[in-house]
Amino acid sequence: MLLCLEDAEQFFRIHKSLMLFVGRRLNLIDCKYASPKSFEKLPPSQRLKVHEALLDHMDLIDAFADENPQRLVEDDIEIARSWTNLVSGEFFAFRQLKQEMIFLSADEPVLAYGVLALFDPFEVVIGPDLPRLIRTTLVPFKGKIIYDGLAIVHDISFGGGVKRILDETYKEAKARNEIIRSLPHHAKGTEAARKNDVSGKRTPVAASSAARPAHDRIVALIDAFCREELDEEYAELCRKLAGILVRKRPSPLVRGKPESWASGIVRVIGWVNFLGDPSQPHHMKMTDIDRAFGVSEATGSAKSMEIRNQHGIDRIDPEWMLKSRMEQNPLVWMIRVNGMIDDARDLPRKVQEEAFRKGLIPFIPDPRAGRTAED
């Protein structure tokens, strides 16, 4: 469902005025861009910087409302003030309903939001194939939730395991009548643990009282192992995978020993990232992982296979690739240009910037890294 035309125009009038104010206050845009309408003429990358700068300077929302440089009416100013309750981060655009798009937060605890589109339907903005992982900012608007007009879509495909988990999460939220349709959101019961901060990060909590002790024990084992043998990058991905496993209904983590699951999880992340390759900064055999956790090779291998099969995890899967290895992953950089599949690392800088703006690549390659794109 879209906002009505009048409301969409009102939102963009206020939002462009705020973005102009933020950009000029932080010296991110040239003073020649003196009107909200001229803000549209900025390059997409520069507008993105202003959007992101606001998240680091939330106090500028109240400053904008107090100064009201564009002489907006009082109703517009009150809407702008309400944006201090925004939620920014990564979300799964999960399901398009008649009245709204369901967004599921990518962080824990997973929250479900009912979001309205602006001028264009979400099918146009993010594509028809769901779920899609996107980075955006949700803002309140007249008792509803909309997005701020900028959505970076990650070009990632999800296996059946992830889709099942998302479906179960949505059904549970729906059954508990916990679809969030207005901001700020006041969580029931454990508000302090589930309260959003402006960056969209949340305090991780286990999915159920039965699975929580197992999850916490597994994560503690993994963290200790990674501190000793690997690094924080590995630990972060392992914790993410443990979080997915604990949210599954019923959670498999309540079956078997924590050491077995810890070994299986580290094996999966190591397998994706070629941990067994001696040329890597960190390398070790899968059997060494099993030995460190005190489980047999058969047990570690079985747990690893179970996790990979249930959640559709493939070799060099971009979702589970270390950030430091991302530039070497060819799957991340293959994009379609004029009907042809090309490696974005070999394309002109302007094409790379556009691909990044659309969320097709994770970052703009550094030409000093070796593969220099021709301008």
Pairwise pLDDT comparison (263 vs 110), residue with the higher score: 263
In the prediction, which pLDDT does 366 show? 65
In the prediction, which pLDDT does 337 show? 63
Average pLDDT over residues 53-66: 91
Give tens-digit pLDDT for 273-292.
Answer: 888 878 777 889 999 999 99
In the prediction, which pLDDT does 190 show? 38
In the prediction, which pLDDT does 192 show? 37
* pTM of model > 0.85: no
Average pLDDT over residues 151-177: 82
Counting residues of the chain whose pLDDT is more than 90, the rounded percentage is: 39
Give tens-digit pLDDT for 281-320.
Answer: 788 999 999 999 999 999 999 999 999 888 888 766 677 8
HEC assignment per residue over the chain: CECCHHHHHHHHHHHHHHHHHHHHHCCCCCCCCCCHHHHCCCCHHHHHHHHHHHHHCCHHHHHHHHHCCCCCCHHHHHHHHHHHHCEEEEEEEEEECCCCEEEEECCCCCCEEEEEECCCCHHHHHCCCCCEEEEEEEEEECCEEEECCCCEECCCCCCHHHHHHHHHHHHHHHHCCCEECCCCCCCCCCHHHHCCCCCCCCCCCCCCCCCHHHHHHHHHHHHHHHHHHCCHHHHHHHHHHHHHHHHCCCCHHHCCCHHHHHHHHHHHHHHHCCCCCCCCCCCCCHHHHHHHHCCCHHHHHHHHHHHHHHHCCCCCCHHHCCHHHHHHCHHHHEEEECCEEEEHHHCCHHHHHHHHHCCCCCCCCCHHHCCCCCC
